[in-house]
């Protein structure tokens, strides 16, 4: 008997999550399947060592190692990672996917 995944049991709202008027390509709390590879590419693009990258994100290097092996950051760690990625040209798209575009807020 096949069990359904959380996303199958709890589909996203019909209106979808949007940031800056653009749909977010992943459900809340979900990162691309190849996140560990994307993380490695982001770190390479930053020019930092893994230790310096962890420090920039504000995470313990052991936690970043866990991300490299398949764990996903969440909460404040994910927020910090995205803030660091925003300072690296193309970094947010690299982590979140090519379809994701971070736009400035219009008032």
What is this structure's pTM?
Answer: 0.67
User: What is the domain range of residue 65?
Assistant: 33-99
Q: Which one-letter DSSP state was computed for residue 27? A: -
Please give the Cα distance from 12 to 9 (Å, whole number). 10
75 domain-assigned: yes
Q: Which one-letter DSSP state was computed for residue 42? A: H
Q: What is the CATH number of the domain that holds 81?
A: 1.10.260.40
43 domain-assigned: yes
Contact of 82 with 72, CB cutoff 8 Å: no
Give, rounded to a whole angstrom, the gap between the first and last alpha carbons of the chain. 51
Contact of 42 with 32, CB cutoff 8 Å: no
6 domain-assigned: no
Per-residue pLDDT in tens (0 to 9) along the chain, 107 residues: 555 444 454 444 444 555 556 665 545 457 888 999 999 999 999 999 999 999 999 999 999 999 999 998 988 898 899 999 999 999 988 998 866 655 554 44
């Amino acid at each position: 008997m096949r069990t359904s995944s959380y996303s199958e049991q709890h589909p996203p709202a019909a209106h979808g999550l949007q940031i800056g008027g653009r749909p977010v390509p992943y459900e809340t709390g979900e990162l691309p399947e190849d996140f560990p590879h994307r993380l490695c590419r982001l770190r390479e693009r930053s020019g930092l060592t893994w230790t310096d990258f962890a420090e920039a994100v504000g995470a313990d290097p052991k936690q970043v190692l866990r991300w490299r092996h398949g764990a996903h950051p969440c909460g404040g760690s994910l927020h910090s990672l995205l803030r660091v990625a925003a300072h690296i040209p193309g970094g947010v798209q690299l982590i979140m996917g090519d379809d994701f575009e971070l736009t400035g807020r219009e008032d």
